[in-house]
Amino acid sequence: MAVPNNTLETYSAIGNAEDVSDIIYLISPTETPFMSNIESVDARARLHQWQTDSLAAAATNVEPEGDDPDTNAATVTVMLSNSCQISDKVPRVSGTQEAVAKYGRKSEMNYQLAKMSRELKRDMEFDLLANNAEVTGSSGTARELGGIEAWITSDDRGTSGSDGGTGDTAATDGTQRAFTEASLKNVLQECFDSGGDPDTIMLGSFNKQAFSGFTGNATRYKDADDERLVAGIDVYASDFGVMRVVANRFMRSRSCLILQMDMWAIAYLRPFTVHDLAKTGDSIQKQILVEYTLEARNQASSGIVADLTTAVS
């Protein structure tokens, strides 16, 4: 069909409104499974300290009738610490950009604040789960918290790998190897024998899929009227209890963490705050700031299967 002469079409018209959605789609994930599932506590100094203790080993305990009892030796508590780390994000927007009409947001500054707050939360999850040794800091040198992998001592590692200890020394990476259920069971047993009751297995995407192939999960139970194929494991029934299995995008993909979540906490010296920075020209800037650290209440309660392969060879 021919177009009638002198028909004004959109191809030549001037001034038609653009078709731009007022919704901005963010694909980047913001879930923080570790930080969101541990307790938050208050810190009162830049070096956050706490105490741990343990009971004496169980042993035969018999006394004769009428005996004058002996005094048992008392054990003192252990003092542990971790430095509070400062993390921030600083958006800066020109006065003109804040003033002009925009699609998807009314205020550019408010949009950037919301976006960078999510980025900051992701950064915190990354640092809490890192194999990073504590840095106490000094004038001009930033403090760094000791990440979870620098604390865990119940472990199964590749050749030449070794644990860190109490947050001030990073674990030494060993030779990478395939993730096996035998390694997982070794660490679960070690955590149990140390007095722990881990409840969560946390690992990256590649080894989450490897975990779903373990023979211990050969039988999957589901309702008869549920037609969905269950291809992964979200709950693992171990010899020492039922555990959640959680994939985490922000931990090291070469590690599988076996965690007793109530034995970890995030301690805030300064919780999330937003404040204006000095105006130095035709722009506005704000700082989103948080000061925090990781509290390892008893690191032997949790474990790690370390030095795992992260891709098909």
Where do we find the tokens 């403090």?
143
Those residues with Cβ within 8 angstroms of residue 189's Cβ, 6 or more apart along the chain or in another chain: 239, 240
pTM for the structure as a whole = 0.87
Q: Enumerate residue ranges in the chain where pLDDT < 70.
A: 4, 6-10, 16-17, 19-29, 216-233, 312-313
Token duo for residue 93: 């927007």
pLDDT at 210: 92
pLDDT at 31: 85
Buried b / exposed e over 224-257, threshold 16 CB at 10 Å, is eeeeeeeeebeebebeeeebbbbbbbbbbbbbbb
Alpha-carbon distance of 290 to 205, in angstroms, equals 29
Question: 21 in helix, strand or coil?
Answer: coil
Where do we find the tokens 């096996």?
180
